[in-house]
Structure 1
Amino acid sequence: MLKLFFLSSITILSLWGGAIENDEQFKQAVIQMGKENKTVLMIYTTNDCPECAYMKIKVFHDKAVEPFLNRHFVVIEKNVHTSKLPDGYDFFGIPTMFFIDKAGTKKETLIGSKRPQPFLGELRRIQGLK
């Protein structure tokens, strides 16, 4: 019985995991980047998360943040309840933002929401800009 449970657990986990390089949203983000030196910002959200909504609606569209975000990042969103989540991208709180290079290497992880100016500072730091 335990063996059967273990095997079915592995099957279920394989449906919900996989390398980031095989994730369709990540592949599309890399294609969208083209030759530009951008970073993928993958944000984990839920439908009922007020901090997630604040980041997506207010912070990402702030007049100082949005142009910088568009110039240096490609944003993809994963709803933790409905999206396949790639292996190695665990979360402890929502929103969680992962910064990933074109090769699929995780550069940085931010958890929680921030106001526009501190978030812009984090984006600049992650991109190696002042």
Structure 2
Amino acid sequence: MNLTLWIATGLLAAVALGGGISKTFVPMDKLAAAPGGKWTEIGGVGFVRTLGVLELLAAVGLTLPAVLDIAPVLVPVTAVCWVVLMVGAMITHYRQGEIKFVAVNLVYLALAVFIAWGRFGPYCFTS
């Protein structure tokens, strides 16, 4: 089960890294034109860039604390934060009528719940 949690964490960290890089560094007009990018017109540049930085921090928070064995409790805490972020993303995509992206975000949310359950519960790093 520990290996499964590591794989899920790696996948979610890759998703967070990819989303964070795109939201932080890709021009807003290209983000808005991409599939599922209609929501970027609502929040403005600062909001989108802030979300990008948060996703970059999530990629770091999901992996480095456990790898470096420095405050590994931050891994499930980051997973819980990702759950909150995905609830917001699901609401936003639903309001935009982008149901396909609601389903994608639901998968990411499920991965984060699994990581939080496993790392807070039976497979925490301290036991």
TM class by smaller structure: under 0.3
Determine which structure has the larger helix proportion and give its number. Answer: 2
TM-score (norm 1): 0.26
Determine which structure has the larger strand proportion and give its number. Answer: 1
Larger radius of gyration: 1
TM-score (norm 2): 0.27
